[in-house]
Structures are given as structure tokens and as C-alpha cells.
Amino acid sequence: MSDQRIVIVGAGPAGLRAAERLVDHGLRPILLDEAPRVGGRIYQQAPEGAGFRRNAKTLYGFEAGKAERLFATHARIRDSIEHRAGAVAFDIADDRLIALIDGERQEIGFDRLVLATGAMDRVMPLPGWTLPGVFTLGAAQIALKHQGCAIGHHVAFLGAGPLLYLAAYQYAKAGVTVAAVVSSASLSSIAGSLPGLAAQPTTTAKGFAYIAKLRSWGIPVIGGARPSRLLGRDTVETLEVLVDGRIRNIDCDAVALGYGLKSETQLAELCGAQFAYDRDQQQWVPEIDAYGRAIGRQGVYLAGDGAGIGGADAAELRGMLAAEAVLQDLGLPRRDEKADAVLKSLQRWRQFRRAMDYGFPFPGVFAKELPDETVLCRCENVTAGEVRSAADQGLREINRVKAATRLGMGRCQGRICGAAGAEVLAARLGVSVDSVGRLRTQPPIKPVPIAALAGADE
């Protein structure tokens, strides 16, 4: 039917729904993902064939049905796709994706590329956050879902957003002591988001149900807090926060930290997609049309949280739409008019998401108050004070600060420190955060053996 080579990166909700739609139109996409099994982070599965037994209800709670439907779709299409599991896509050269698969460098040519690369936790550092025992909120969930482990015995949850309550609920349900759930979002900002949240009443109700449960179990759920530091000798022992101007110490042996999510956009950037600063989400996102076509790069489509945060339900819709765009651009006849309905329901999710962004903002304002000695960049050990000195020496752009201080130059490529680094710089300069620019991505976007870097170019 078509000899077009379609490559999808990411086997989460967006990537799988894109694959499904393409398969249903007789195409055979190649699906790459770093994980051995499909589902992405949100529906991450336990390792296969290792004796893990928990069912979907235990693993995914309210979302079990969605996870099971997605896995059923995968089971239905698995023989019609080429699934390359454990594949680390680390570069793009023209129309070739370069990946490390089973330790070998492979180049995968594409005519159309669907990037469904997902997201990771967005972090605001605080003194002591490099202590062992401090993990991202996503990490806390992965430990539980993927490994049946908790990150500690007495876990404090710190950040903002719906995942904070969900993760704390999952931990408490698994029998772990939740020391406290501490949110930077104030009650008034959450209240202000309620009208928008009404666009998705079921999801909103679930969020409040988690909070109510946590409270009913006697777990302190604190809002409007300002975290000041994490203390501990060899590992984290205390979370110190300011609540209503008073210091409150929370004893814990682990902390799950996260202020919402941040799109994984490195591949989109390398292939030439345009970016714009999104004020609602407070982050740089690739520009796309209504279906997910990348602006600035023909033949590339972006779906799911990798193209701005929309959540797992929206990701499924965005995956379908990206595939729809591929089909349209290939000139293939469309079998149904579902796309219009999908666009409409996506609109409701956008409204909901805007309300979430308003209710649980990234606390960029904390950057200004971070003590100079606070480590921002975990890889290169760059402090807030070093970034401020760079600003004082006249550097006004984040990549120049990177060159001068090494912030974001380490192995994680600024994934962890990028957001906070820009906030610290902007606060020192007294400008808005978008005006300091964004950290540029350099291939390889993930560490790979030197032998894998050499290749066709040699």
C-alpha cells in the first residue's frame, strides 16, 4: 500500500495510539522505546517473566481500565509493527534517526517521524536535594510500579500538581508511612483554577478523592508552603518548610520531589522543530499545528507530553491525531471522520490543563531566594551563586552562562537543572524567564559509548 517508512519514538499512550491508527490503515510503523515493555512512564509495567504478579488495578488504581485497553491495543497490533525495545534514540541526522539498540549503533531512515517522547519531572532545587534519599516524584512511582519498592520507610512528598497527591496515595496504599504531603501551591490558586477544572469533572473528582483519603488517614496535607532545605548527614533526614511564616520540620528518610512535568524535547529540537515559550506551562515547547505537525520541520509530527504537557488521556488523543496527519500527508484515504471529535475532546483537555497550570504553577519565584551555595546542576556541581556571578559579569543568555559555568553541560544535558537555572539567571537580571533563552541540545542526547558516536560520518 505504501512503502513509506514511518518511525515512532516512544511507546507510551501517544506513541501506541499513533501506531494503532497507522496499522489500521495498512501501514507498518517502526516503534522505538527505551523501556523493554510498552506503556510509557504513566502505565509502566513490571519486568516481564520475572515473577511479578500485581494486577492492573493494584498498579494503576483508577486508571487501570485505560492501561488495560492500551495494552490490549498493543497485543492486537504487535505483529503489525516493528517494535525495537530498549532503543535509545540519541541523534537525528537529516532523515535518519540514530539509536543505540542492544549496545549497537543503528541508523533508522524515516520518511515520517512521530515523536512521542513524553515528559519528566520538573524540579526546583533546594539546599540538600543531592542527598541520597531525595528522588523525583516520578522516580517514587517507578520504584513502586516497576519494582514493588518504596524509596524509603518514611516518605515526604514535596512539590506541586496532581501527581503529588496521587503518588502519596499510592505509597500510603502500599503500606508506606507518608510523613507529609507538602505543596507550594496555595489554596487560593487552586481555588482559582476550579472553574477550568470543571471541564474534566471526573478527573478533578479523583484528585480531590486522593486528598480526602490522605487526610482521612491522618497524613498532614500542607498547602502554600515554601520549602527551605533538606537536612541529613549521609542521607536525607528532615524536610524544613515555611508555612505561614513559621518553620516546620518534617522527619523523613526519603523525599519525592516534583513540580509538574517538563516535555522531553531534545529530538524535536535536533530535527529542527521551532520552539516557543508557553506562558501557561512556564516552559519552552515545540510549535505544532492542531494535528501535531512540527512547525519548521516537514515530515515530523509531535504527540503527547513531549509536545507540551497535556496528560495521559490527552496523549492518546494527540497520538491518534498525529497519525491522522501522517495519513493525510501521505494522501491516504481516511476511513472515518473521528478526527473532528478527537479535536473537540482535546479542546476540553486543553481547558483543563490551563486550569492545572494556573492552580499548580512551577514555583520559579523560589529561585530568587535560593542560597548562593545551593547546587543547581547535579552533574557539574554548579551553584546558584555561580550563575548569579555570571549574570553580574554581564551574561544575559542561558547558553553563555552554560559555557561560563558548565551549568547544563553535564551528562543529563540540563534536563534536571535547565528550568531552575533559567529562573535563577532571570531573577538576578530582573527579566522574565523567557528572555534568557533556553538551553540548546547537543547530540548525543543521552550518554552512549564513544564507539557508537562514530559511524557513517567516518
Partner 1 sequence: MTRIAGLFRRVAERDRRRIAFTLDGEAAEAFEGDTLLTAILLIRDHIRIAEFTEAPRAGFCLMGACQDCWVADADGRPLRACTTTVTEGMSIVTRK
Our measurement of the distance from residue 115's CA atom to the centroid of its chain's CA atoms, rounded to an integer in Å, reads: 14
Round to whole Å and give the CA distance between 18 and 62.
24
> How does strand 177-183 pair with strand 221-222?
parallel
The grid coordinates of residue 455 equal: 559511524
Supply the minimum distance, in Å, between the C-beta of residue 365 and partner 1. Answer: 23
Q: Report d(CA 97, CA 323) in Å as an integer.
A: 19
Q: Binding to partner 1 by residue 264, rule CB under 8 A?
A: yes
Indicate whether 260 belongs to the interface with partner 1 (CB under 8 A): no
Neighbours of 449 (CB within 10 A): 12
By CB under 8 A, residue 120 contacts partner 1 = yes
Instruction: Say whether residue 371 binds partner 1 (CB under 8 A).
Output: no
Single out the residue of 81, 143, 230, 315 in contact with partner 1 (rule: CB under 8 A).
Answer: 143
Least separation in angstroms between CB 45 and partner 1: 11
Among 302, 416, 422, 452, binds partner 1 (CB under 8 A): 416
Size, binding site for partner 1 by CB under 8 A: 57
Contact between 229 and partner 1 per CB under 8 A: no
The reply to whether 51 sits near partner 1 by the rule CB under 8 A is yes
Q: Contact with partner 1 (CB under 8 A): which of 254, 327, 419, 433?
A: 254
Contacting range for partner 1; rule: CB under 8 A; set: 73-81, 104-112, 139-147, 220-228: 139-147
Which cell numbers in the block locate residue 32?
Answer: 522505538
Report how far apart, in Å, the C-alpha atoms of 42 and of each of 61, 68, 171, 226, 429 are: 12, 12, 16, 28, 37
**In angstroms, what CA-CA distances link 433 with 119, 125, 268, 398, 426?**
20, 16, 21, 10, 5
Ranges within 71-90 binding partner 1 (CB under 8 A): 88
Pick from 412, 434, 443, 455 the residue near partner 1 by CB under 8 A: 412
Q: Under the criterion CB under 8 A, does residue 270 sit at the interface with partner 1? A: no
Chain centre distance of CA 210: 21
Residue 295 interacts with partner 1 (CB under 8 A): yes or no: no
State the minimum distance, in angstroms, from the CB of residue 47 to partner 1.
4
| Between 256 and 346, CB nearer to partner 1 | 256
Q: Does 105 bind partner 1 (CB under 8 A)?
A: no
- Three-class secondary structure of residue 294 per DSSP: strand
**Measuring CA to CA, which residue among 100, 438, 404 is closest to residue 262?**
438
Nearest in space to 291 (alpha carbons), one of 18, 16, 85: 18
| Residue from the set 57, 147, 187, 276 that interacts with partner 1 by CB under 8 A | 147
Decide: helix, strand or coil at residue 30.
strand
**CB neighbour list of residue 75: distance below 8 Å, 6 or more residues apart:** none
Among 85, 222, 330, 379, binds partner 1 (CB under 8 A): 379
Contacts to partner 1 by CB under 8 A: 34, 41, 46-47, 50-54, 58, 88, 120-121, 130, 132-136, 138-139, 142-144, 146-154, 174-176, 234-235, 237-238, 251-254, 264, 378-381, 410-412, 415-416, 446-447, 449
